[in-house]
Structure 1
Amino acid sequence: MADNLPRRIVKETQRLIADPVPGISATPYTDNLRYFGVAIEGPAETSYANGVFQLELFLPSEYPMSPPKVRFLTRIYHPNVDKLGRICLDILKDKWSPALQIRTVLLSIQALLSAPNPDDPLDNDVAAVWKNDESKALQLAKEWTRAHAIQGGGKGADDAIVID
């Protein structure tokens, strides 16, 4: 299957594996090398710290002329991520450039975890909380991270009682 892939995708994939980005892993699926399983560690000093967020990334046939398709599989409380895991990030839409790479996209998503932008939301309810009561939003983000993105969390964690 790798023989059918454009040279650029092969090169980017090799670099991601040989020189991984700190806090990010991206592994192509063996049955479809355009589809990646991604794990991004929540940045330290944020409400997402200690969480590991699972994402999927797909490179359409038009890549690199069109951006990759990326979405969160792990539930996350963030104004720029909707309930389906879609991400509001300019480089995944109108600011995409063929000069950008998978690595750049993943770093930008990790940066978005450090700096949520409630002024350009994908989830208006979350953005409203973020704008009106940021400390409450940060606490909710921390709770969701604990429930969905920390080892032992995930499926069934919605029912878990967390005692600090």
Structure 2
Amino acid sequence: MKNPEDIIGLFAHAWADRDAQALAGLFAQDAEFVNVVGLWWHDREAIRVAHAYGFDMIFGDSTLSFVESRSRRIGDSAAVVHGKWKITGQVAADGSVAGERCGIFTFVCEKLPAGDWQVVAAQNTDIIHNAESIAVIDGQSVPSDYR
């Protein structure tokens, strides 16, 4: 990546191509990645394996698009990039097509000595409409609104 903000387009492109190798290649060898349900991968290979599985089993016909992004440089060699996304075409566990989801990615990027950028950490968070938090009720996480 020539700029940290490039992560938004490059991630979406790798997703569209179902290219887990290219997607993982955006990350440092020892990168951290936390997905929307708290699964936590600790290196590039684990990120690749998880996304290859996702493309095969869950997201094979999906469309991911980023609808908004913001970035903030932290000195000359670090940046945080946020991208609001939506996804359609996900396959539900029963094989049906799931409804549209949206969420926010947080990417932490570092500048390499040669001048390119890479992702060192990412966290993906679903947006749950009409909820302020999650409550565990009878062992199940339930979106909750306290207003």
TM-score range, shorter chain: 0.3 to 0.5
Q: Which has the higher helix share?
A: 1
- Name the TM-score, length of structure 1 as normaliser: 0.32
